[in-house]
Structure 1
Amino acid sequence: MSHPTPGVPTWVDLGTSDLPDATRFYTQLFGWEADVSGEEYGGYTTFRLNGRAAAGAGPLYGEGQPTAWSTYVATDDADEIAARVEAAGGKVLVAPFDVMFQGRMAAFLDPAGAPFSVWQAGTMRGADVFDVPGALTWNELTTRDVEGSAAFYGSVFGWVARESSMGGLPYIVWEHQGATIAGMQAMDGDDWPDDLPPHWMIYFAVHDCDESAALAQSLGGRVARPPTDLPIGRYAILDDPQGGTFSVLQSANA
């Protein structure tokens, strides 16, 4: 088994207040199959696309914890990353711990307040499929501190922040070892309510953005931002029935 490249987003999962209903919603929206683990894993569910791991979901464990998607960055050493996070001004939310033989994980807050996690692969390497309809295609940090975030993630993962643009607006592209791996957007303007915290947005690829947005709504979700054209394709921001926010992206090359 080949392990994912350290420093690259490798997995996303959903912590939800209603795992059965979230499973209903996402399996119908993306055509995923739900692979439910045993009691020793708390019913953690791996969503598979044509048999390959695409994403995961599990129940909420912390009181007051909101339903939300999480981004995991691959690492060879979760403990070393935890030390780097603290040294760079971030916060360790969940110290590194073993998930049986599956791997080792930890959860953090960056200095601006955006949560993220790391995954040190064991028998479970992360996602097996990317960039096809129903699979993860992009991870994007939205933050009110672009400069500070560039310094933080550069220190923790060795990422390089490159200035770019998206739809005529400034945009940051994260590069790692010469490869483009993620993005960063400044939370400036009226599109970003004051009570919306910095976060990592995840994008799933779809065949047709408009159809996916309409289907999500028919399944009990909400269209938070209607389908919109960008140079890279057409996207929409959606909420699942429990309030978990994610995006769908129809590639311009589709």
Structure 2
Amino acid sequence: MRITANRPGRPCWVEQGSADPQAAQAFYGELFGWRAAPDPRPEAGGYTVMLLGDDPVAGITPLVAPGQPTVWTVSIASADADATAATATAAGARVLMAPAEVLELGRFAVLADPAGAVFSVWQARAFQGAAVYDQPGAAGWIELATRDVAGALAFYPELFGWSVSPGESYTQWGLDGTDFGGVLDMGEQFPADLPPYWMPYFAAADVDLAAERAVGLGAEAVLPPTDVPDGPRLAVLKDPLGAVFGLYLADTAG
């Protein structure tokens, strides 16, 4: 699916804060066929947009502080990043990075929901975000892992207007009749010291083949390729730098 303008409330971008951006670019370039397009301006801080063909699909950036883990962050489109941050704060979130201009590209803020899961909001100007979605090599699903599902189901619909579609073991988020993500209860299978987090899933034409390729490139299979009841075939991996991401069979999410 091609994206020409991101509707407020929808996922619009994913980026990795990486301890080794060059290694991350090499890994995902081999896995998904991404091409690196670094911003040469000093004020860009080493930010690199990853392209699928000529389409931006993700970002990779150096870590902003020593000791930070390498993680993926999801961004949600906002018509007003300042207003979204204020609404989120009033609902119990923390502002980790106050709304700020990103060159001529847009305005963004980094927030932690009331349970501590980190996400960003993006108010687009010159840069809308991902140009393609839900096709092989591009993101197409976002998932929140949290120990406070009830709190998440109250917080995010209030903040972004998301719909909630509950299932027997998995609840999905949506907007305008289309689901784009879900929330997973962090049960006993998760380490007790693991904080809640957002994770992107990338579409694959063949999940088994993509997961095998990722492992061959140094990733760890957290969840081997699995058929989900009433859902797509998927896998969860940890890249060589420790960032967790998912794969799912293209055109089956939602």
Tell me whether the two structures share a fold, i.e. TM-score over 0.5.
yes
Counterparts in 2 of 1:70-89, with a 5 A limit?
70-89=73-92
The one of 219, 226, 229 equivalent to 1:221 is: 219
Distance (Å, rounded) in 2 between the aligned partners of 1:198 and 1:214: 27
SS in 1 for 2:22: helix
Q: In the alignment, is the contact (CA less than 8 A) between 1:3 and 1:121 conserved in 2?
A: no
State the partner residue of 1:46. 49
Q: In the alignment, is the contact (CA less than 8 A) between 1:150 and 1:160 conserved in 2?
A: no
Name whichever of 83-92 and 151-160 sits farther off: 151-160
Distance (Å, rounded) in 1 between the aligned partners of 2:174 and 2:37: 33
State the partner residue of 1:178. 177
Residue 184 of structure 2 aligns with an amino acid whose one-letter code is Q
Deviation at 1:244, TM superposition (A): 0.8
Q: How many residues align?
A: 249
Unaligned runs of 5+ in 1: none
Deviation at 1:253, TM superposition (A): 5.4
SS in 1 for 2:191: coil
The one of 93, 98, 107 equivalent to 2:96 is: 93
State the partner residue of 2:156. 153
SS in 2 for 1:48: strand
Cα deviation 1:87-130 (Å, max 9, x = unaligned): 00010000000000010000000011110000000111000001
Considering only aligned residues, what root-mean-square deviation do their CA atoms show, in Å? 1.7
SS in 2 for 1:164: coil
Q: In the alignment, is the contact (CA less than 8 A) between 2:140 and 2:201 conserved in 1?
A: yes
Unaligned runs of 5+ in 2: none
SS in 2 for 1:112: coil
Q: In the alignment, is the contact (CA less than 8 A) between 2:135 and 2:250 conserved in 1?
A: no
Q: In the alignment, is the contact (CA less than 8 A) between 2:51 and 2:58 conserved in 1?
A: yes
Distance (Å, rounded) in 2 between the aligned partners of 1:214 and 1:48: 22
Deviation at 1:75, TM superposition (A): 0.4
Cα deviation 1:151-177 (Å, max 9, x = unaligned): 111221122322124xxxx21111224
Distance (Å, rounded) in 1 between the aligned partners of 2:251 and 2:128: 30
Deviation at 1:238, TM superposition (A): 0.9
Name whichever of 204-213 and 92-101 sits farther off: 204-213
Distance (Å, rounded) in 1 between the aligned partners of 2:127 and 2:142: 20
Deviation at 1:2, TM superposition (A): 4.8
Query: Residue 83 and residue 234 in structure 1: after superposition, are their counterparts in 2 closer, same or farther (change >3 A)?
Result: same
Counterpart check, 1:144 vs 2:147: yes
Distance (Å, rounded) in 2 between the aligned partners of 1:115 and 1:105: 13
State the partner residue of 1:209. 207
Distance (Å, rounded) in 2 between the aligned partners of 1:135 and 1:2: 15
Distance (Å, rounded) in 2 between the aligned partners of 1:249 and 1:34: 23
Name whichever of 136-145 and 224-233 sits farther off: 224-233
SS in 2 for 1:232: coil
Residue 175 of structure 1 aligns with an amino acid whose one-letter code is G
Cα deviation 1:41-72 (Å, max 9, x = unaligned): 12211111111011111000122211000000
Residue 3 of structure 1 aligns with an amino acid whose one-letter code is A
Distance (Å, rounded) in 1 between the aligned partners of 2:141 and 2:112: 20
Counterparts in 2 of 1:16-35, with a 5 A limit?
16-35=18-37
